[in-house]
Amino acid sequence: MSFKLLFLWLLYFVQGLPHGLQSSLLPVYLRTSGLSLTSISLTKALYFPWILKVLWAPLVDQAGTKKIWLVASMSGLALTCLASSILSPDAHFSMIGMVLLAMNFLASVQDIAVDGVAVQLLQQQEEVGYGNMVQVVGYKMGSVLAGGGLLAVMDIIGWSSLFVALGCVYSAVTLYVMKTPILSKHPKSQSAKRKCHLGGMNPWRVWRELLIVPGTTWTVIYVLIYKLGEQGAVTMFPLFLLDHHMSARELGIWNGMVAMGFSVLGSSLAGLLLAWYSIGYLMRSAFVLRMFSMAFQTSLLLFLSHSSLVKGAAILSLCIQHFLGGLITTLTFTTMMKCTQRAEESIQATHYSFLATLEVLGKLTFSALAGWLVDWVGFPVSFLFFLLLSAAATLHVYRATEKGELNQQPG
């Protein structure tokens, strides 16, 4: 089991690299290059392939083997990194955007293949539990390395060397996957057993069956709005600090590494707390705490001094926000899973993919608009709006508890 978990950790680690690169490193680099917040936020549109991945998921699941898809996707990711290394964001911004779009498409293919590999490798209940822990930790560690670690040394090694290094990492992991015998031990029959039951059904009937699953309507609204305010704050606050308090290197350390460490801690703690408390109680508590955290962060926008006290408070707010964000994310995916478990077994995979796609859609849509909002009305007014959105999500959770729409766990 240890070898399986190490293998999966490696796959999820490299899967997290593009996310950290584009969510933490790229915005700071582009801001230091003089781009407006609106332009930086619009780069979130490059994540669009993740919204559409349900369209090519059946192909990845049923055609070829997971090993072939992993080798092909990671080889493509290595090539996109090398292409990025010969381009300059200042002179070739549009071409960089096209390369990053291709990177996200390949990463979404890799994501489908890795999840398929995990299903094949993790057979026992104990393995499934450890495997999910490895998934979260590995992915976030890859994101931390690309978004924080590389940002901290980017001034030293430069844009080109950074992408050459990432290309080498992908090439090394690709060679390892090609040579490892672990994937050959698991036949393709597992994938065949999961062929889409809905293939011969009318698409309208499919959507109707998905939406009539108890709790789906509430969950759909929830996954679309639960991150809106937090997403705006998490995206824009580091750029505010870049303009007023911190250097890109400091942000790479504190926001890209330390704060992400708190995010991993929050995600892990949520799994432990679910064994002791009901999910409804945990969600209510976490959402209220997040509102107080965002209010504290909003108040810091009024202080533009470079004092150590203000900088320390800003770092504290980043850590708290990421910790609560990680906590809420784990609770959210647990809620989605509990909702999916109410569906018929034949449509559970499609139902969960449907919810996961909407979760990504809600976050990316608002991230793409947050910079435009800040450029239009400024940081203080924008953050008050983010706080209002967070309050709306909190109210949605409280109302669900009162009406019994949020499934409770005995605690």
Q: What is the DSSP string of 326-368?
A: HHHHHHHHHHHHHHHTTS-GGGHHHHHHHHHHHHHHHHHHHHH
Query: Which SS3 state, helix, strand or coil, does residue 90 take?
Result: coil
User: At the topology level of CATH, where does 1-195 sit?
Assistant: Growth Hormone; Chain: A; (1.20.1250)
**Euclidean distance between CA atoms 264 and 326, whole angstroms:** 6
Taking each helix axis as running N to C, give the angle between helix 48-62 and helix 93-121, from 0 to 180 degrees, rounded to the nearest 10: 40
CA distance 400 to 330: 18
pLDDT at 353 over 60: yes
Q: What is the pLDDT of residue 174?
A: 86
**Reported pTM:** 0.66
From 3.40.630.30, 1.20.1250.20, 3.10.300.10, 1.10.150.240, which CATH number describes the 200-411 domain? 1.20.1250.20
Least confident of 3-7, 127-131, 392-396: 127-131
Average pLDDT of the chain is 75
Residue-wise pLDDT tens digits, 264-319: 888 778 777 877 888 888 889 999 999 999 999 888 887 765 667 778 888 899 99
Helices (H), 180-278: 189-193, 203-211, 216-225, 228-244, 248-253, 259-273
Give the Cβ contact number of residue 255 at 10 Å: 27
Query: In the 8-state DSSP scheme, what is residue 378?
Result: -
Burial tier of 250 (Cβ tally within 10 Å: 0-12, 13-18, 19+): middle
Domain with CATH 1.20.1250.20 in the chain: 1-195, 200-411
How does pLDDT run across 321-346, given as a tens digit for each residue?
A: 999 988 888 788 778 777 776 777 55
Helix-then-strand count for the chain, H and E: 18, 0
How confident is the model at residue 93, as a pLDDT?
65
- Report how far apart the first and last C-alpha atoms of the chain are (Å, whole number): 30
Among the residue ranges 127-141, 330-344, 346-360, the one predicted with the least confidence is: 127-141
Most confidently predicted of 49-58, 110-119, 311-320: 311-320
User: For residue 247, what pLDDT is reported?
Assistant: 76
Q: What is the pLDDT of residue 324?
A: 92
pLDDT of residue 293: 92
Nearest to 400 by CA among 224, 215, 275: 215
- C-alpha Rg value of the chain to the nearest Å: 21
More confident residue, 261 or 185: 261
CA distance 290 to 117: 35
Band of residue 212 on the pLDDT scale cut at 50, 70, 90: confident
* Exposure on the CB side of residue 342, measured as CA atoms within 13 A: 18
AA identity, residue 167: G
Give the distance, in angstroms, between the CA of residue 229 and the centroid of all CA atoms in the same chain: 16
